[in-house]
């Protein structure tokens, strides 16, 4: 007699509370919010089909993460890494040069905090959607690890699995897991994120900085914009392949390469991405309507802006729940 699939209602009741953290896990693995959503759907489909075989030898949460990890690893067999422009290996660009698009590059994407925060799961050990673990710098660095090494690092460091559990899932020895983790840690050592670097938007000083940042952009006050960046700040904007370093180059880029002609042409709407402050920037068109231009994700260090990733992908505005026009 053929086995029947899980009862839909029972499966969803048991599995749905883990959806946000599964999305965070898949996003860390693949670096794309849209691919991660598809992979979570595939994870739930696979889990639903196999739910009648689930015997409870592990928690349902662990079982779902096993399926999600395998689903991501299968997907990564045919996909290349998703970099930011700084990850392409080229030196910083001259802001006076023409902008060049890398249309064939599958670029890294930001993820809205709203999609991966606010877990309903009550387990205090469930840290998979923490602000630190989805920081943009970390997600970008993960892209440089081979997929299996990436999985080892996330399962051990973020999900806090034991080495034996990871080895069982991946079909490798405990010694191989530990060796892989050591190599991954060494490669990511330069992008480790401390708690002090997590910029909380409701922090009074940071809130004032962000308010001044919005005002400077909306007035196109180039001197004010330059004053808010650290000396070694980086500005990058996929799909354009160049990246720019230092307040002088960044402000020159905004002053001369941005289509905004003056005050009022740019408007910023606040949001949050990757555990960081972010803005949807709208540009005034010839018809007098502000339309989506790019989404900026900011890194704040010691009270100044140290990095901006500006994503020129209009469909991200819908993903972030931002309006199509202002």
Domain that holds residue 45: 8-79+110-195
Cα distances (angstroms) measured from residue 95 to each of 35, 102, 183, 242, 281: 32, 17, 36, 9, 20
Domain endpoint, select from 160, 195, 230? 195
Please tell me the predicted confidence (pLDDT) of residue 146.
Answer: 95
Shared domain check, 220 and 189: no
Please tell me the predicted confidence (pLDDT) of residue 119.
Answer: 52
Let me know if residue 91 belongs to a domain: no
Helix axis angle for 33-50 and 19-30, nearest 10°, is 130
Residue ranges of the chain whose pLDDT lies below 70? 1-7, 56, 118-129, 190-202
Domain endpoint, select from 155, 176, 195? 195
Shared domain check, 211 and 281: yes
Q: How many CA atoms lie within 13 A of 274 on its CB side?
A: 26
Shared domain check, 63 and 25: yes
CA distance 153 to 178: 10
| Domain harbouring 235, CATH code | 3.10.450.50
Contacts of residue 325, defined as CB under 8 A and 6 or more positions apart, other chains included, come to 282, 289, 290, 291
Q: Which helix (H) or strand (E) holds 214?
A: helix 204-219
Please tell me the predicted confidence (pLDDT) of residue 324.
Answer: 95
Let me know if residue 245 belongs to a domain: yes
Shared domain check, 47 and 118: yes
Let me know if residue 276 belongs to a domain: yes
Tell the burial category of 28 from Cβ atoms under 10 Å away from its Cβ (0-12, 13-18, 19+).
Answer: buried
Phi, psi of 257 (to 5 degrees): -105, -15
Please tell me the predicted confidence (pLDDT) of residue 126.
Answer: 44
Let me know if residue 326 belongs to a domain: no
Please tell me the predicted confidence (pLDDT) of residue 318.
Answer: 97
Phi, psi of 201 (to 5 degrees): -60, -25
Sheet holding 276-284, edge to edge: 243-245, 229-236, 304-311, 290-301, 276-284, 266-273
| Domain harbouring 161, CATH code | 1.20.140.160
Shared domain check, 34 and 126: yes
Please tell me the predicted confidence (pLDDT) of residue 125.
Answer: 43
Determine contact, residues 30/39, Cβ cutoff 8 Å. yes
Please tell me the predicted confidence (pLDDT) of residue 127.
Answer: 39
CA distance 17 to 120: 6
Radius of gyration of the chain (CA): 21
Model's pTM, two decimal places?
A: 0.90
Cα distances (angstroms) measured from residue 25 to each of 34, 35, 101, 210, 321: 13, 12, 29, 29, 21
CA distance 253 to 157: 39
Please tell me the predicted confidence (pLDDT) of residue 256.
Answer: 96
Tens of pLDDT, residues 117-157: 865 444 544 433 477 889 999 999 999 999 999 999 999 99
Q: What residue has token string 């997907």?
A: 75
Which residues is 295 bridged to in the sheet?
280, 311
Let me know if residue 96 belongs to a domain: no
């Amino acid at each position: 007699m053929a086995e029947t699939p899980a009862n839909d209602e029972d499966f969803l009741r048991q599995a749905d509370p883990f959806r946000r953290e599964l999305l965070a896990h898949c996003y860390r693995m693949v670096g794309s919010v849209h691919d991660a959503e598809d992979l979570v759907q595939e994870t739930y489909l696979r889990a639903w089909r196999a739910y009648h075989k689930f015997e409870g030898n592990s928690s349902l949460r662990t079982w779902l993460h096993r399926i999600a990890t395998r689903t991501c690893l299968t997907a990564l067999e045919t996909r290349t890494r998703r970099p930011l422009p700084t990850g392409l290996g080229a030196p910083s660009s001259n802001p006076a040069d023409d902008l060049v698009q890398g249309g064939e590059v599958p670029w890294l994407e930001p993820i809205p905090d709203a999609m991966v925060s606010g877990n309903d799961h009550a387990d205090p050990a469930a840290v998979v959607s923490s602000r630190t673990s989805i920081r943009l710098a970390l997600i970008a660095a993960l892209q440089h690890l081979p997929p299996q090494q990436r999985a080892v690092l996330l399962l051990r460091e973020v999900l806090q699995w034991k080495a034996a559990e990871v080895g069982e899932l991946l079909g490798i020895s405990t010694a191989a897991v530990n060796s892989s983790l050591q190599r991954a840690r060494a490669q990511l050592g330069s992008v480790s994120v401390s708690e002090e670097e997590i910029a909380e938007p409701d922090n009074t000083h940071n809130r004032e900085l962000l308010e001044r940042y919005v005002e400077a952009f909306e007035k196109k006050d180039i001197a004010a914009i330059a004053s808010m960046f650290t000396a070694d700040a980086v500005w990058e904007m996929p799909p354009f392949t160049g990246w720019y370093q230092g307040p002088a180059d960044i402000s020159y880029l905004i002053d001369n390469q941005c289509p905004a002609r003056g005050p009022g042409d740019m408007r910023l709407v606040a949001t949050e991405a990757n555990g960081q402050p972010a803005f949807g920037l709208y540009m005034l068109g010839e018809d007098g309507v502000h339309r989506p231009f790019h989404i900026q994700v900011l890194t704040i260090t010691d009270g100044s802006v140290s990095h901006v990733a500006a994503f020129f992908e209009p469909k991200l505005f819908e993903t972030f729940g931002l309006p199509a026009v202002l």
